[in-house]
Amino acid sequence: MKLLHVVGTRPNFVKAMPVIRALTAQASDCEQIVIHTGQHYDPNMSQTFFDDFDLPCTIENLNVGSGSHAAQTGNIMRRFEPALLKYAPRAVVVYGDVNSTLAAAIVAAKCGTPVIHVEAGLRSGDRTMPEEINRILTDQIAEQLFAPSRDAVANLAAEGISGDNVHFVGNVMIDTLVNFLPRCNSDEVLRKLDIEADRYVMATIHRPSNVDSEEKLTNIVHALAEISRELVVIFPVHPRTVPKLAPLERVINASGIRLVDPLGYTDFISLQRAARLVITDSGGVQEETTYMCIPCLTVRPNTERPVTVSHGTNRLVAPTRDSILSEYKLALETSTARCNIELWDGRAARRIADIVAAEYGNAR
Ligand code: UD1
Ligand code: UDP
């Protein structure tokens, strides 16, 4: 069985790692190749994850880089097709909802290669999000769909996708977290940043809906500045957000907000786990905070990960200074019970590997 895994962005690397490792462990006949589209390319958005994860397979980089949605998606398609033809895999595995996911899925489906979608069925219901378009279309052309939660299975059924090829397996991003938590000792990174556990807030903001709106980003930064009078705010800045913060430099410099470069996975998780609270618009961070029981404010009107709100520590909050501050106070006053989300148990990738081996292995 030969499989091509397609990744391109930071969250893809985190999701693919456990699946590749589980297939290596469980399917001895499995040859695996990773195609990195190059959608993310800064060393701290890309190489650092490969250093941490040490994947046991060939990795080829298509070096596509940044561009408009059409340019980026089209370039990935053009460069992925020859790679697909060269390797002629039994199936192509795609992850999540980024442009690399959709581009590779379209190419594979049209070349007659089965598409396996890991993290299928998530829906925010918000078609202004580029990721929502990527999710809907990828699920329509996938042959095997691996859903992280029951709501995702229901979303697929509502779009007419149901049957033996839809599998509720749990969350692979949590697999990586479970695997790495024992080596995520916060002491070192706390010492490096000269902060104390539980005495800081961690922030990550990168959605276009927040950072491309001067008004919303200004509101968010003003709320963080206010919070930083009480708790230090550590803000690892995504490259999309960097230029957008320039006009807010004076506010930031006069506050306790500390901008830092994007962090490697181990440092980032180590900081998340010791934070008093997290403020984010990231998809993965909503899940990780829920698993670790860290209060989380998600600055978005909706989420494709509703279990993090109904069963976790996540609260949706509007991008206004007052909403963020009032939810921040509420979250600090509310105690967080240990969250236990069905099949978020560190074994999702093993379930996926079993099914993939049964479907596409040589015995078939
Ligand atoms: C992409 C995904 C988003 C995901 C995020 C994870 C899509 C449509 N969006 O958003 O769902 O949450 O990745 O982080 O696929 N840049 C750099 N260096 C890099 C990468 C990006 O400087 O290594 C800058 C470029 O100016 C680029 C901008 O960031 O134009 C946006 O990058 P892009 O990959 O297009 O989208 P993200 O915002 O990263
Ligand atoms: N992450 C990281 N360093 C950072 C910010 C995030 O390692 O500085 C990890 C985070 O723990 C999670 C993933 O990157 O596993 C989430 O990526 P991101 O927020 O960029 O994308 P999203 O999940 O929103 O698509």
DSSP 249-262: HHHHHTTTEEEEPP
Q: Which ligand is located closest to the Cα atom of residue 209? A: 1
Q: For ligand 2, what atom is nearest to the CA of residue 48? A: 7
Supply φ then ψ for residue 142, to 5 degrees: -80, 145
- Show the tokens assigned to 199: 């005495």
Query: What is the 162 CA–ligand 2 centroid distance (Å)?
Result: 30
| C-beta of 236 in contact with ligand 2 (< 6 A) | yes
Name the superfamily (CATH) of residues 2-170+344-360: Glycogen Phosphorylase B; (3.40.50.2000)
Res 57: pLDDT: 87
**Using CA positions, which residue lies closest to atom 13 of ligand 2?**
11
Closest CA relative to residue 177, chosen from 362, 346, 354: 346
The burial class, CB within 10 Å (0-12 / 13-18 / 19+), for 250 is exposed
Within this chain, domains 2-170+344-360 and 182-333 share the same CATH topology: yes
Query: What is the 44 CA–ligand 2 centroid distance (Å)?
Result: 11
Q: Which ligand is located closest to the Cα atom of residue 300? A: 2
From 5, 36, 117, 206, active-site residue: 206
Domain boundaries, the chain: 2-170+344-360, 182-333
For the question of residue 311 being annotated catalytic, the response is: no
Query: What is the 176 CA–ligand 1 centroid distance (Å)?
Result: 21
The burial class, CB within 10 Å (0-12 / 13-18 / 19+), for 133 is middle
Res 364: pLDDT: 46
Identity of the amino acid at 29: D
Architecture in CATH of 182-333: 3-Layer(aba) Sandwich (3.40)
Supply φ then ψ for residue 318, to 5 degrees: -70, 155
Residue 50: Cβ within 10 Å count:
16
Res 334: pLDDT: 86
Q: How many CA atoms lie within 13 A of 243 on its CB side?
A: 3
**Using CA positions, which residue lies closest to atom 2 of ligand 2?**
265
Per-residue pLDDT of the chain (364 residues; tens, 9 = 90+): 999 999 999 999 999 999 999 999 998 889 999 999 999 999 999 999 999 999 888 899 999 999 999 999 999 999 999 999 999 999 999 999 999 999 999 999 999 999 999 999 999 999 999 999 999 999 999 999 999 999 999 999 999 999 999 999 999 999 999 999 999 999 999 999 999 999 999 999 999 999 999 999 999 999 999 999 999 999 999 999 999 999 999 999 999 999 999 999 999 999 999 999 999 999 999 999 999 999 999 999 999 999 999 999 999 999 999 999 999 999 999 877 778 899 999 999 999 999 999 999 875 4
| C-beta of 306 in contact with ligand 2 (< 6 A) | no
Res 61: pLDDT: 98
**Using CA positions, which residue lies closest to atom 15 of ligand 1?**
98
